[in-house]
Structures are given as structure tokens and as C-alpha cells.
Amino acid sequence: MDVPTALQKPEIHIYPTLEEMSRAAAVMILQEGKEAITARGQFLLVLAGGSTPRSLYTQLSGDEFRPQLDWSKVHFFWGDERAVPPIHLDSNFRMARETLLSKISVSPTHIHRIPAEKTVTSEAAKIYAAELKDFFGLKEGEWPRFDLVLLGMGPEGHTASLFPNNPALQEEHQLVVAPWVEQLKCYRVTLTPPAINHSAQVVFFVAGEDKAAALHAVLKGEFHPETYPAQIIRPVAGRLTWILDRAAASQLSD
Ligand code: 6PG
């Protein structure tokens, strides 16, 4: 199977430590944000969940970087969410609120949270999809164009809540789905591959030795997105960037 062009030419930036890659990513996000706000009056940013981005969000909300962007022009979205309330320790929203949103001046109407606390997780997916369709004014068959989608990657190659051998990987029509994740024995809410792949830029932010093997498989191995879902992320008309620390990149010989 041919490897999609974007996968052949992603930008890869490697830094010695998580701290340094967080600073570099913060500079990049601020630059992209300024350009988007200048060009279109707003910056449409999708936040990643998990733990790695904590360091990046803390940098962004810190005294050095926070003053460099008009946060009132930023709209925040999420790539995925756990099926928990927003105050739950596992909530991706909670992590972003603690490290970033509570420290900047942004209207609640600019925070497009995934309501994953819904008893029926598929209901949360429907609500979030409706919010995206409304925000972007999408007609049937149209996709959101986020300015920048931040993604993490799990040690086995999942991204957002797109897990190996999960039907969500095949989704071609819905913006948002609520897959049962057998590996975790729980439901999740996630943007689908096409909803991510129509973005202007996707940035993977990956750190740690435990990601090195999957990273090598994703970037250097055969194209098997069922096994390594991060491979399914290839912007149809956008940029793909990997921001890594040396530990995560330790198996990328070149
Ligand atoms: C989530 C994330 C998920 C995450 C990876 C990496 O909800 O957990 O969206 O895709 O980015 O699992 O997580 P860490 O940064 O904690 O390693």
C-alpha cells in the first residue's frame, strides 16, 4: 500500500528534554495563533489530552508566553475526552483548565468542551458534533478546518481516542464518535480521522522512552494504521509536524 505523501514528509523536531520541546511548541503555537488572528480574526486550536501536554500548557500560560497572544481571539476545542465529568482527575478538560484556561482571559463561549459526562457517551459525541457543525457552518459532507490540532500518542501508537483495531479508525462520515475502547474497557469521545485530517496543521507532541518503539513504527515502519492509529493522521491539505524529545525519538536513527 502506498504511504500517503504527508506521512513521507512530516516536519520532525527533536529536543533534548520535555521542557525544551514544550518551549519550542509554545513558540510555534503562539506564532501560528498570531498569524491566524491577523488573517482571520481568530485562532481555532484543538487541545490534546493525556499528561504530556501539561508542560506545554503551563509554558503557554506562564509569564513569558501568556502576554504574547490575544487569548480572547482563541477558540479551544478538544481532540478527545474520557467519559467522565469535567471535574474528574481523568478529564482532559480539567487538565487544560488547571494548566491553561484558568490562567488566561477567554470567554466561556470560546471553550468548546466535549460534554463527556453524559450517561450515554454517544449523546456527548452528537452534541459535540452539532457544536462543530454550527460553529463552522458545515453542510452535509463538509469538515471543520481547525488552524492547529495538538495530538499526543500512546505507547502503542494510538492518538486522540483512536485506538488499534477500533471501528472509529474506519469512520468516514461522522465528525465525532464515541467508541468502546476494549483496551481500556471504557467509552471515549473522539474526533474522527477525517475531522482531524481537514485541519490546516496537526502537531504531534510526544515525549518519553515508552513511546520510542511505536514512534519508530509510525514514522519508519509499514503503513498499518489499524495497528498504529497515529499513521491515519495525514492532513489532506495541511501540515503535519512532530515535536519530540530525544527519549521518544531514540529509535529514529536518522
Ligand atoms: C487521552 C489522549 C491520548 C493521549 C495519549 C498520550 O485522552 O489520553 O488524547 O491520545 O494523547 O494517550 O498520553 P500521555 O501524554 O499521557 O502519554
Cβ of residue 157 lying under 6 Å from some atom of ligand 1? no
Nearest atom of ligand 1 to the alpha carbon of 188: 7
Question: Residue of the nearest CA to atom 13 in ligand 1?
Answer: 50
Cβ of residue 248 lying under 6 Å from some atom of ligand 1? no
Give the residues across from 81 on adjacent strands.
189
What's the confidence (pLDDT) of residue 9?
79
What's the confidence (pLDDT) of residue 196?
98
Ligand 1, from 22, 80, 162, 210: best to mutate by most atoms within 8 Å of Cβ?
80
Mean pLDDT score, 55-77: 98
Q: What is the mean pLDDT of the chain?
A: 96
DSSP string, 149-177: EEE---TTS-BTTB-TT-GGGG--S-SEE
Nearest atom of ligand 1 to the alpha carbon of 210: 17
Cell numbers standing for residue 231: 499513521
Ligand 1 geometric centre to CA of 41 (Å)? 30
State how far the Cα of 8 lies from the Cα of 11, in Å rounded to an integer: 10
**pTM of the predicted model, to two decimals?**
0.96
Cβ of residue 49 lying under 6 Å from some atom of ligand 1? yes
pLDDT in tens, 16-55: 999 999 999 999 999 999 999 999 999 999 999 999 999 9
Residue 3 has pLDDT above 80, yes or no: no
What's the confidence (pLDDT) of residue 253?
82
Cβ of residue 92 lying under 6 Å from some atom of ligand 1? yes
Percent pLDDT > 70 in the chain is 96
What's the confidence (pLDDT) of residue 6?
46
Cell numbers standing for residue 149: 490540532
Mean pLDDT score, 143-154: 98
Counts of helices then strands in the chain (DSSP H, E)? 7, 10
What's the confidence (pLDDT) of residue 27?
98
